[in-house]
Structure 1
Amino acid sequence: MNNFIYETPTKVYFGKDEELKVGKIIAEFHPKKVLVHFGGNSARKSGLLDKVENCLREENISFVELGGVVANPELPLVREGIELGKKEGVDFVLAVGGGSVLDSSKAIANGLANPEVDVWDFHCGKAVPQKTLPKGAILTLAAAGSEMSSSCVISNPKTGEKRGCNGLFNRMNFAIEDPVLTYTVSPYQTACGAVDIAMHTIERYFCPGEDTYLTDSIAEAVIKSVRKAAGDCLKNPEDYTARANMMWASSLAHNGLTQCGREFQLVVHQLEHEVSGMYPEVAHGAGLAALWCSWARYVYKANINRWLQYASNVWGLDIDFEHPEKTIETAIDMQEQYYASIGMPIGLKELGVKEDDLAKLALDCSRNKTRSLIGYKPLAYEDILVIYQMAYERG
């Protein structure tokens, strides 16, 4: 087991009607003015924004609002939020929405706290935030795990780039998680969320590291629980137990718990970021589903034992020790069939990706052939291109 630091400073308020505490929770930070950041009209139509506003007014907390966050949150709105925050004297950011809203809020908080730096420089690796504003979240979608993660991913529509900025400064001070708020999530977005949640842990599972059987057991439980919860949510969108387990899994899958003792890089996420950066209409979870099985088929021979453990413990397969590769390939096939069964794509063609763009995707993912993605089988430009080609040919 590798050395590691595990720190999760986010305080979670979990359960029905916990969002009604938001005013009292924020009052503990003594803010001068709060920026309430959200996505589209659903937050208003559902009555959630009205509840939030009333809670803030009850505590005499001043606030200003900014909506308009889209899937794959974009840099122009982040910059608009920073300028609005400067003008209004904002010193606290409250995200009301899913992972895109939360990431946009994190970027705004970083930009406001470091006004001398262009916020995009944080996502290009040119600078690191030296401080940030306090921030909290009311979660309305179980998917990205941004409510407890140290990551923040923003898209730049001008360049077609989608880049992450990672660090403790991105941790929310608190997250309110009421599963009831996810009842109206569409079947498609529910399925996308299930893929993203599980993938946060599946990818950690296949990062290099040995002798992590406790971490492995936690990871396997998260992966299987998400699969069950997603199925129950799709059968009955108002199944509180299923929505609750899926929402909590979202947080545990991406708060660092399932990587303890292992190296860390979300490799398939890196592959997908290029796809939804170039094709912003692609839902992140759908992009992951379209790529994972091709990546798995390309890399599994680099660590047969690890993949046999996954096939046995996650998919319940008996190991064929004479033909171990068949067991692994069966597990990958089962995962691919599962994606198809919940309405997820299993190839890039289904997402509208053009074959002519594959080389550009690989070039961008490899940073013009200057980086390799980590793993038991490191992936350089040529490897990345092959995976994109394999994924294009699926489906």
Structure 2
Amino acid sequence: MQDFKFYNPTRIEFGKGKEKNIGSYMSEFGAKRALVVYGSDRVKKSGLFEVAINSLKANGIEFTELGGVKSNPVLTKVREGVKIAKEFRADSVLAIGGGSVLDSCKAIAAGAVYDGDVWDFFVNKSADKALMIFDIITLAATGSEMNRGGVVTNEETKEKFGCDGVALYPKVSVINPELQATVSKEYLVYSASDIIAHSIEGYFTAKAHPELIRAYIEANIKTVMKTTEILLKEPENYEARGDFAWAATMALNGLTYVGISGYSYPNHMIEHAMSAVTDCPHGAGLSVVMPAWMKFYKERNSKAFERFAKEIFGLNSADDGINALKAWFEKIGTPTKLSQVGIDNSNLDEIINLANSYTNSWGGSEIYTKENLAKIFEMAK
């Protein structure tokens, strides 16, 4: 176990009907004026938006709204939100939706108390001040509900970067598994892929990795796999939905990286280039990248890959474990080939060049050369 510092101030309110109390939770922190952010009108059609704003009204919280946040959130929408938040003199933001909505809210919260351009927080500035952040999560995947980061794409430069800062931890996150029962089959399996990707980045790349954390990651992955298969057959299964939702949170709230060192996020770096160019769903891109990257990287940490094969699938070799993961992705219906996410010879060079340019900020330039990235993508065809 390496030396570490662990801090996570987010309060989780987990359970049925907790969204009805969001105004009360926000008022505990003194919220008076909130910008409510959501994606599509489904939030309104389902009645969830009305439940949330009624709770705000009951607790004397004024609000304005911003809709239209898309999957793979974009900088222009964040800038729109910053402008609204400043004009409204908001003291808080409330995200109602999945990780894309919450990531946008984090950037808006930072930009609303900053005189410069909000993109600064994605390239050279940590967010040490922000509006208060609250959320009602409707899709389990990113883990953004219990961490201090968020990802947005700059449409002009096609840079898909993350912001980070201690002020970006949500004050309170509401996780009601019932709200996630209507998630489509496609986004359920994309979410499973995303959670697994969060789990394996450190597992395979870290130079030092405690036994406890390895076992914890393996348990999380097996939980995701088991509950995904249940939910594909029984979308209303509350117990499975709850386990799946909490696994998503736990995969990226800091606990899977406690006491490890020398790790990186190559799968996310590569996928960010893919979705920046093609706008493919993040989890779908990851299920394409992961098996290919694993084949490329396995010799650099063969023991971890052999352990993964044994603990997750009961198999003996690294290759068997990789093939089993790819087969599982195919079984649940998430993509495993570039052609399935709109990538072919017409845009592949652009994606490779973009991924290579990301190494300037993500690191790994000595490993992820254009030549090696081309090898990874070749294995994903």
Q: TM-score range by the shorter chain?
A: over 0.9
Does residue 338 in structure 1 map to residue 328 in structure 2? yes
Residues 37 and 65 in structure 2, CA contact (< 8 A), matched pair in contact too: yes
Q: Give the match for residue 381 of structure 1.
A: 370
Q: Give the match for residue 353 of structure 1.
A: 343
Indicate how the Cα distance of structure 1 residues 47 and 339 shifts in structure 2: closer, same or farther if over 3 A, else same. Answer: same
In 2, the alpha carbon distance for the partners of 1:373 and 1:296 equals 18
In 1, the alpha carbon distance for the partners of 2:361 and 2:107 equals 25
In 1, the alpha carbon distance for the partners of 2:141 and 2:360 equals 31
Q: Give the match for residue 105 of structure 2.
A: 105
In 1, the alpha carbon distance for the partners of 2:14 and 2:34 equals 22
In 1, the alpha carbon distance for the partners of 2:218 and 2:328 equals 16
In 2, the alpha carbon distance for the partners of 1:167 and 1:222 equals 26
Task: Give 1:346 shift.
Answer: 0.7
- Which one is further off, 205-214 or 73-82? 205-214
Task: Give 1:194 shift.
Answer: 0.8
Indicate how the Cα distance of structure 1 residues 129 and 167 shifts in structure 2: closer, same or farther if over 3 A, else same. Answer: closer
Task: Give 1:371 shift.
Answer: 6.4
Residues 190 and 334 in structure 2, CA contact (< 8 A), matched pair in contact too: yes
Task: Give 1:373 shift.
Answer: 4.3
Task: Give 1:382 shift.
Answer: 2.4
- Which one is further off, 161-170 or 196-205? 161-170
Residues 372 and 378 in structure 1, CA contact (< 8 A), matched pair in contact too: no
Task: Give 1:256 shift.
Answer: 1.1
Counterpart pick for 1:185 among 183, 186, 200: 183
Indicate how the Cα distance of structure 1 residues 211 and 105 shifts in structure 2: closer, same or farther if over 3 A, else same. Answer: closer
Q: Give the match for residue 258 of structure 2.
A: 260
Deviations 1:227-255 (A, max 9, x none): 00111111111000111001001110011
| Identical-pair percentage | 36
Q: Give the match for residue 227 of structure 1.
A: 225
In 2, the alpha carbon distance for the partners of 1:40 and 1:92 equals 21
In 2, the alpha carbon distance for the partners of 1:49 and 1:368 equals 37
Indicate how the Cα distance of structure 1 residues 90 and 211 shifts in structure 2: closer, same or farther if over 3 A, else same. Answer: closer
Task: Give 1:370 shift.
Answer: 4.6
Residues 269 and 358 in structure 2, CA contact (< 8 A), matched pair in contact too: no
In 2, the alpha carbon distance for the partners of 1:186 and 1:371 equals 34
Unpaired segments ≥5 residues, structure 2: none
Indicate how the Cα distance of structure 1 residues 6 and 179 shifts in structure 2: closer, same or farther if over 3 A, else same. Answer: same
Unpaired segments ≥5 residues, structure 1: 320-326
Q: How many residues in Structure 1 have an aligned counterpart in Structure 2?
A: 380
Indicate how the Cα distance of structure 1 residues 216 and 91 shifts in structure 2: closer, same or farther if over 3 A, else same. Answer: same
Q: Which runs of 4+ in 1 moved over 3 A?
A: 368-375
In 1, the alpha carbon distance for the partners of 2:202 and 2:43 equals 33
Residues 179 and 247 in structure 1, CA contact (< 8 A), matched pair in contact too: yes
Alignment root-mean-square deviation, CA: 1.6
Deviations 1:288-337 (A, max 9, x none): 001110000001011211111111111122x3xxxxxxx11111111101
AA of the residue aligned to 2:186: Y
In 1, the alpha carbon distance for the partners of 2:167 and 2:5 equals 15
Residues 205 and 301 in structure 2, CA contact (< 8 A), matched pair in contact too: no
Task: Give 1:368 shift.
Answer: 7.3
Deviations 1:10-34 (A, max 9, x none): 1000010011111110111222310
Does residue 9 in structure 1 map to residue 9 in structure 2? yes
Residues 293 and 332 in structure 1, CA contact (< 8 A), matched pair in contact too: yes
Q: Give the match for residue 237 of structure 1.
A: 235
TM-score under structure 2 length normalisation? 0.96
Task: Give 1:51 shift.
Answer: 0.3
Task: Note the 1:134-283 alignment, pairs <5 A.
Answer: 134-263=132-261, 264-280=263-279, 282-283=280-281
Residues 209 and 260 in structure 2, CA contact (< 8 A), matched pair in contact too: no
Residues 12 and 177 in structure 1, CA contact (< 8 A), matched pair in contact too: yes
Does residue 34 in structure 1 map to residue 31 in structure 2? no
AA of the residue aligned to 1:351: V
